[in-house]
Structure 1
Amino acid sequence: MTALNFVDELLGWRTLEQRTVQRLGRPYAPNCADADNCDIADYIYASHRVGRILRPGQTMGASFEALLLDHLFGEISRLDPNRKWLARPGRVISDFAQYAHLGVLEEQIKANVVLRTEFGREYAIKPDIAIGVEVAAAQPLLHAVVSVKWSMRSDRVQNVRPEGALLLRHRRGRAPHFVVVTAEPLPSRIAAIAMTTGEVDAVYHVMFDEMAEAVRQVGTREQKERWFELVTQGRVRDYAALPVTLTST
C-alpha cells in the first residue's frame, strides 16, 4: 500500500500566510504537516513529485474520511463476503447491540436536568467511521470503530483516548476494534495516540512505507528512535494490513 495508489488525490501543497512565508522563506508546505516541522513530509512529497497546489483554506479531513470509508468498506466486503457489513460515518454507537442500553440512558439524561448536568453528552459517541455486521432479527454488532486523523494536531487528538475508554467500559458483549488511521508525518505526534495503555488497538498509517524511508533519510535521531519503537512494538502499522485484520476476527 502506497500513497500513490490510495491517497494520491489528497496530497498537495498548501499556501502559507505571508508572515509565515517571510519567517520560513517558503511559500508552501505539505498539507499533512506543520510548516515549522515538515522535513519528513517534504521528503515524501518530493519523492513522489507531488505538485498540486491547494486552494487557500482547503481542508482534507472530510475528504480523507470519505475516501477511507469507501476504500475500507470495499476491501472488507471483498475479503469477507459472507458477512453483511455496514460502514457508516457519524452513526451513534447506541445503534449497535453492545451499546443499545446507552440509547436508553441518553433519553433519561435528556429528560432529567440533574443527570444532564452531571453527565452531559458523554455517552452520545458518534465515531468517524462505525463498521458493523448485520445480525438476523437483531441490532447489528459493532465490529470496529475507526478514528480518522489526516493530521494530528494537539487539539485534534484529545477525544481519541476517552472515546476508546468509553467503548471498552460501556460495552455489553464483545468489544469492537478501535483503531486510528492517519497521514501524520511526525513520529512524536503519532506516539501521543499510539503509545496508549490499551484504549487504541493500533495506529494505521496510509503512507507507512513512505514514512519509513523518509524517517531513515531525513529524520532526526529522536524521530528515528521513536519510529523504530512504534513499529517494533506494533503500535504503528501499515494501513494495508487493516482490512485483513478486521476480517480475520
Structure 2
Amino acid sequence: MSILSEERAAFHRYLIENEILTHAPFSKFDASYICSNADNGQKHSVLVANLLAAKIAKKAGVTLVERKKKDGQTLGNEFEEACTLYLQKTFLKLSSLRPGSWEVQKINSRKQSVLGRYEQYTHLAELGRLASEYSELRNFLGDGYTVAPDVIIARAPECDEVINKEIDIVDSDSCHQAMLRAVNHKNDIAQILHASVSCKFTMRSDRSQNTRTEALNLIRARKGRSPHIVSLTSEPTASRIASLALGTGDLDCVYHFALYELREALVELEADDALDLLESMVDGKRLKDISDLPLDLAV
C-alpha cells in the first residue's frame, strides 16, 4: 500500500480511536444512533453521517466508540491535531518533490501576533504593536487585518551554501531581496508561510463565512506570494460543503476527509440531488479527497 493510502487509513483510525468520530444513541428520524459529525436537527445529515462513519470504520478495521459527543471546541481542536499529524506524516515525506526545511504545525494561539511571525506578514506584527499602543488606530483597524490559521506549513529560508550546493546560483553582487535567501533577512530570520489549512470538523453557514473571510485576509494582507489556502472538513452534507467549495478566488480548494466513502453513502441512500451537487464540485475541481492534499501542497 502506498504512503498516501496508508496514512489516509491511519487518519481514519486515529479519529475513531481517539473518540473524535463517535456515535451515540439516537431515536429521532428512525436512526438508532447519531455520529459526532452529524447535525441532529437534520434527518439527511444524520443518515449520511451514520452510513459514512460505518463505511470508514469497516475499511479502517476498527469499531466506532459509543459515547456522548464532545463539545464543539474540543472536537475542533482534536480534529486540527489529527489533520496536523496527517500532514506531518505525508507532506514532510515529499522531499523529492519539494526539497527544503519544512515545518507542519498546529497554531494554538489566536493572538494577533501569530501571523506576523512569517515573512509575508512580518509587517502585521508592527501594525499590531502600534494598534495596541494607539486606541484610535485599534478602533479603525479592528481585527479584520489579522488571521490565526489552524494548521500551517512553513519553510525556512536557505543559506547560500545550500542554494549553491550544485552550482553557484547566488553571490554578493545580486539577489538582495529574495525571501528564500537567509542572508537577506536583516534581523530575525522569518519562515516563509507556504500553506494555511483551515480545519472544520463540521460546517455551518457562519463557519463557512469565517473561513472565506480568513482566506481573503491572508490574500490581501500579504507582501509577497500568497500561501496555499485550503480547507479540510468532515462535514457529511453536500450543500454545506458547497457553501464553501463553490466559487473561486477565496480558497485553492476544499478537501474532504473521506470523499470516496461519502460518495458511496450518497449512492446507497439514493440521495440523487446531494450526489449531483457533490459530483459537480468534484468535476469543477472545487472538492477533493484528503489523499490529494499533500501532493497539491507540493506544487
TM over 0.5: yes
Find the counterpart in structure 2 of residue 147 from structure 1.
Answer: 198
Residue number among 139, 154, 165 corresponding to 1:132 in the alignment: 154
Find the counterpart in structure 2 of residue 75 from structure 1.
Answer: 90
Task: Map 1:31-110 to 2 at 5 A.
Answer: 31-35=36-40, 36=42, 37-47=45-55, 48-49=57-58, 50-57=63-70, 59-80=74-95, 82-90=99-107, 92-110=114-132
Whether the 8 Å contact between 1:89 and 1:128 is mirrored in structure 2 is yes
Q: RCO (CA 8 Å, sep 6+): is it higher in 1 or 2?
A: 1
Find the counterpart in structure 2 of residue 121 from structure 1.
Answer: 143
- 1:13 correspondence with 2:22: yes
Give unpaired runs (5+ residues) of structure 1. none
> 2: distance between equivalents of 1:70 and 1:25?
36
> 2: distance between equivalents of 1:161 and 1:126?
13
Larger displacement relative to structure 2 (168-177 or 30-39): 30-39
How far off its partner does 1:214 sit? Answer: 1.2
> 1: distance between equivalents of 2:260 and 2:148?
31
Residue number among 247, 258, 275 corresponding to 1:224 in the alignment: 275
Instruction: Report which of the two structures shows the higher radius of gyration computed on alpha carbons.
Output: 2
> 2: distance between equivalents of 1:154 and 1:110?
32
- SS of residue paired to 1:139: coil
| Amino acid paired to 1:29 | I
Find the counterpart in structure 1 of residue 179 from structure 2.
Answer: none
| Amino acid paired to 1:13 | T
> 2: distance between equivalents of 1:86 and 1:8?
24
Residue number among 227, 244, 249 corresponding to 1:193 in the alignment: 244
| Amino acid paired to 1:100 | T
Structure 1 residues 54 and 9: alpha-carbon distance in aligned structure 2, compared to 1, 3 A threshold: farther
Structure 1 residues 180 and 216: alpha-carbon distance in aligned structure 2, compared to 1, 3 A threshold: same
Normalising by structure 2, we get a TM-score of: 0.75
Could you tell me the percent identity over the aligned residues?
30
Structure 1 residues 104 and 123: alpha-carbon distance in aligned structure 2, compared to 1, 3 A threshold: same
> 1: distance between equivalents of 2:32 and 2:231?
31
> 2: distance between equivalents of 1:235 and 1:153?
18
- 1:213 correspondence with 2:264: yes
Whether the 8 Å contact between 1:127 and 1:146 is mirrored in structure 2 is yes
Whether the 8 Å contact between 2:152 and 2:195 is mirrored in structure 1 is yes
- 1:162 correspondence with 2:213: yes
How far off its partner does 1:219 sit? Answer: 4.5
> 1: distance between equivalents of 2:95 and 2:210?
31
> 1: distance between equivalents of 2:223 and 2:261?
40
Q: 1:84-109 CA distances to partner (integer Å, 9 max, x unpaired)? A: 11222226221111111111111111
Aligned length: 244
How far off its partner does 1:71 sit? Answer: 1.7
How far off its partner does 1:61 sit? Answer: 1.7
- SS of residue paired to 1:143: strand
Whether the 8 Å contact between 1:106 and 1:123 is mirrored in structure 2 is no
Structure 1 residues 196 and 109: alpha-carbon distance in aligned structure 2, compared to 1, 3 A threshold: farther
